[in-house]
Amino acid sequence: MVIIPVRTETDVFKARRAGREMAREMGFHSRDYSSIEIAISELATNIIRHASEGTIRLETIEDGLEIIIQDKGSGIEDVDAVLRETKKSNKGLGVGLRGVQRLMDQFEIHSEKGVGLTITVRKWKQKPPGLIRPKLNPHVPRGGLLKYGVVSTPYYGLEFNGDAYVVMEFDNTALIALIDGLGHGEAAYLPAQKAAEYVRKNHKSDFNAILRGCHKELRGPRGVVMGLVALDLKKSKFVCAGIGNIMIRVIGRQPFRFISNAGILGHNICITPHVTEFPYSRGDTLILNTDGISKRFEPEQLDIAELAPQEIAEIAVREYGKDSDDATIVVAREL
Ligand SMILES: [Mn+2]
């Protein structure tokens, strides 16, 4: 058991590091480390924000890790209001208590006026079946140019994922394609995979040729939407093109949001989809996501520079992923 007094930002980092260390020693899956760190960071920051001082206690319990925070504030009257709080803080990781609730398996909040606030959360090493959505594409590509974070989950309860993505690196360029097959299940999975295959085979073609080629290849009852981004590190620029609703944005010195052409590959596309270029600055974070992640996801509101690409991807899906659609996000940043 570890008890860490929390008064300053340094204490937050200490607690965070201790949590990660415990999770590792306990044999948690590495993908849970960041959830635990984010939860601890948010809870500890909450102490500083609302009570200025308190403690965070980390303890090994039977099948998991228990985290208890106690603050010396005056307590809060309306616990539900705090949970509904959506205002993002600059200090925490911006996921809020509701985010912590989603990252952890159990969440209890207890407040007594004049005594303070106690929050107990638990994370199980092995989750009871049915609690988490299956990850059919858990493989995160390891690049030589960029660091990637990927989460891709199918429509809740379905085996097939109608989203697909491609990540390739060649000639100082990283190419990312994100594809959303119309509908869901196997009927969306097959054309999305076909489109991904087409991109892989023709990755050196220009974007207009890739989009038009894919359109021809897929002609039939089921189409896909697709977003394409190439980051050319030698020329320091992004090149974007797309058909249909794939969100593409860059968070960095100059924020950027790409507006793609309307249409569906396989059904109807314009003859020359427009290709947009945007200057790249070192440290920029590139984010592509399908519409299975709600529009409420605003990465501009997170402390992006503090988060690893995989952490950003996990926050997006856990916090804003829709159960009623396949949800995929690819995040990339220069190594
Ligand atoms: Mn979709």
For 302-312, the pLDDT digits (tens) are: 999 999 999 99
- pLDDT-based confidence at residue 333 (cuts at 50, 70, 90): very high
pLDDT > 90: percent of the chain: 56
For 24-64, the pLDDT digits (tens) are: 999 888 878 888 999 999 999 988 888 889 999 999 987 78
CA 268 to ligand 1 centroid distance, Å: 18
- pLDDT over 80 (residue 261): yes
pTM score? 0.62
Residues listed for the chain: 335
Work out the average pLDDT over 207-221: 93
Range of weakest confidence among 38-47, 82-91, 167-176, 269-278: 82-91
Q: How far apart are alpha carbons 51 and 271 in whole angstroms? A: 60
| CB-neighbour burial class of residue 10 (10 A; exposed 0-12, middle 13-18, buried 19+) | exposed
User: To the nearest whole number, what is the mean pLDDT of the chain?
Assistant: 87
Confirm if 15 and 4 have CB atoms less than 8 A apart. yes
Q: How far apart are alpha carbons 192 and 223 in whole angstroms? A: 8
pLDDT > 70: percent of the chain: 90
For 59-101, the pLDDT digits (tens) are: 998 778 999 999 888 777 667 666 665 544 444 455 678 788 8
Q: How far apart are alpha carbons 60 and 1 in whole angstroms? A: 7
- pLDDT-based confidence at residue 127 (cuts at 50, 70, 90): low
Domains of the chain listed by start with CATH number: 2-124 (3.30.565.10), 146-334 (3.60.40.10)
CA 181 to ligand 1 centroid distance, Å: 7
CA 229 to ligand 1 centroid distance, Å: 19
- pLDDT over 50 (residue 132): no
Q: What pLDDT does 241 receive? A: 97
Name residues with Cβ closer than 5 Å to ligand 1, which is an ion. Answer: 180, 290-292, 325
CA 163 to ligand 1 centroid distance, Å: 7
- pLDDT-based confidence at residue 7 (cuts at 50, 70, 90): very high
What DSSP assignment string belongs to 141-158? -B-SSEEEEEEEE-STT-
CA 321 to ligand 1 centroid distance, Å: 11
CA 290 to ligand 1 centroid distance, Å: 6
CA 81 to ligand 1 centroid distance, Å: 32
- pLDDT-based confidence at residue 221 (cuts at 50, 70, 90): confident
